[in-house]
């Protein structure tokens, strides 16, 4: 590929290249569409909008360096896997200054993660517009997603009651794609310009793994009756979701168990939170809830969950019977016919 003169001398033109990364698929898609709308003339989209999956940075720059046909500019969108990204970034950083996209054209790169410690990545951060679109952390979901939901509804002339918004986030978690879909469904049911209410959310939004927190809180408090009610509610909303609930229960119990092990080994709560990759406030709350339970009891409960998972796939037991038996026996181990473990 022949070198060309820089499109703009002196200060880098950050508008020529854009790097979007993160795991928020909805926002990534919306940002991509905004860029398409700003660069591409709809009448010439078939010729000027180019999508590449992987490939070399040299090829992408060559495409971005080709003059646009007709009106508007040319937009080259490159989607990279995590494994492809760093090689692509290193090559792009080496070529960028001498192979800039033509003025009016834009190179958009999309990937899930980047390694900001790498030289190539650091070089691109000074030459491209780099933006991160990550899903909110579960411990920060209400604070982050609440305003986002309100703004999204306000743009459509609608609103949501605070208790309904809280219930929606607790049910769906941080998946913005699903939240957007649930909002669309709720607006159809409530009326396009209506106010979404708590009864509507309870009636229309199916349970997800976020709901295991109620079951876990009941178990932590020693309230098996409350835990059984939570389990019945979960399975009545989604009878086939036992594997998902088992995975959520096991992950949370193992998190508490490992945190207790780290504290017993002399780690501070802050260091334990960093080691486990969770927010200190969330870990503090979990440890407070589970203060009466020993690590070996939590380990036993997780082993029993592994047996619940196995029996759900190999026995005639119903999902509700399996989960209820696990709750009644909690935290006792459930003798398995063969070794099974989540650990």
DSSP labels, 192-256: TT-EE-HHHHHHHSPP-GGGHHHHHHHHHTT-HHHHHHHHHHHHHH-TT-HHHHHHHHHHHHHHH
- Using pLDDT thresholds of 50, 70 and 90, give the confidence band for residue 339: very low
pLDDT in tens, 37-83: 999 999 999 999 999 988 999 999 999 999 999 999 999 999 998 88
pLDDT at 329 > cutoff 50: yes
pLDDT at 337 > cutoff 50: no
Cα(104)–Cα(73) distance, rounded to whole angstroms? Answer: 5
pLDDT value, residue 263: 93
pLDDT in tens, 289-309: 899 999 999 999 999 998 898
Domains of the chain as residue ranges with CATH: 17-132 (3.40.50.300), 138-204 (1.10.8.60), 209-329 (1.20.272.10)
Cα(159)–Cα(150) distance, rounded to whole angstroms? Answer: 6
Q: What are 287's two structure tokens? A: 């440890």
Q: Which of left, alpha, beta for 119 (phi over 0: left; psi -120 to 50: alpha)? A: alpha
CA distances from 330 to 82, 228, 258, 288, 336 (A): 40, 11, 18, 19, 15
Q: Which of left, alpha, beta for 266 (phi over 0: left; psi -120 to 50: alpha)? A: left
pLDDT at 173 > cutoff 90: no
Count Cβ atoms below 10 Å from residue 72 Cβ, excluding itself: 20
Cα(138)–Cα(103) distance, rounded to whole angstroms? Answer: 41
**Mean per-residue pLDDT for 116-142?**
88
Going by the DSSP 8-state scheme, the letter that residue 138 receives in this structure is G
């Amino acid at each position: 590929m022949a070198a060309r003169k820089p499109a703009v001398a002196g200060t880098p033109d950050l508008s020529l290249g854009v790097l979007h990364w993160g795991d928020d698929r909805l926002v990534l898609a919306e940002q991509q569409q905004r860029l398409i709308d700003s660069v591409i003339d709809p009448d010439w989209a078939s010729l000027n909008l180019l999508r590449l999956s992987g490939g070399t940075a040299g090829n992408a720059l060559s495409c971005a360096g080709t003059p646009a046909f007709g009106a508007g500019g040319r937009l080259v969108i490159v989607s990279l896997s995590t494994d492809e990204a760093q090689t692509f970034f290193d090559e792009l950083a080496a070529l960028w200054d001498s192979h800039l996209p033509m003025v009016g054209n834009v190179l958009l790169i999309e990937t899930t993660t980047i390694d900001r410690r790498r030289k190539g990545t650091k070089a691109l951060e000074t030459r491209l517009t780099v933006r991160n679109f990550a899903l909110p952390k579960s411990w920060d979901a209400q604070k982050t997603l609440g305003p986002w939901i309100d703004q999204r509804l306000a743009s459509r002339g609608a609103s949501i009651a605070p208790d309904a918004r809280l219930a929606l986030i607790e049910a769906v978690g941080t998946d913005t794609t699903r939240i957007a879909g649930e909002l669309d469904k709720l607006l159809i049911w409530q009326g396009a310009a209506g106010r979404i209410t708590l009864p509507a959310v309870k009636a229309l939004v199916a349970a997800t793994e976020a709901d295991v927190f109620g079951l876990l809180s009941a178990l932590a408090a020693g309230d098996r009756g409350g835990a059984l009610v939570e389990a019945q509610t979960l399975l009545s909303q989604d009878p086939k979701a036992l594997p998902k609930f088992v995975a959520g229960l096991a992950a949370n119990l193992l998190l508490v168990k490992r945190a207790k092990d780290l504290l017993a080994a002399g780690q501070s709560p802050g260091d334990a939170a960093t080691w486990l990759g969770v927010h200190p406030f969330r870990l503090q709350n979990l440890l407070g809830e589970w203060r009466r339970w020993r690590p070996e009891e939590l380990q036993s409960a997780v082993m029993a969950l592994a047996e619940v998972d196995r029996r759900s796939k190999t026995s005639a037991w119903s999902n509700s019977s399996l989960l209820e038996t696990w709750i009644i026996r909690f935290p006792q181990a459930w003798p398995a016919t063969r070794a099974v473990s989540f650990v």
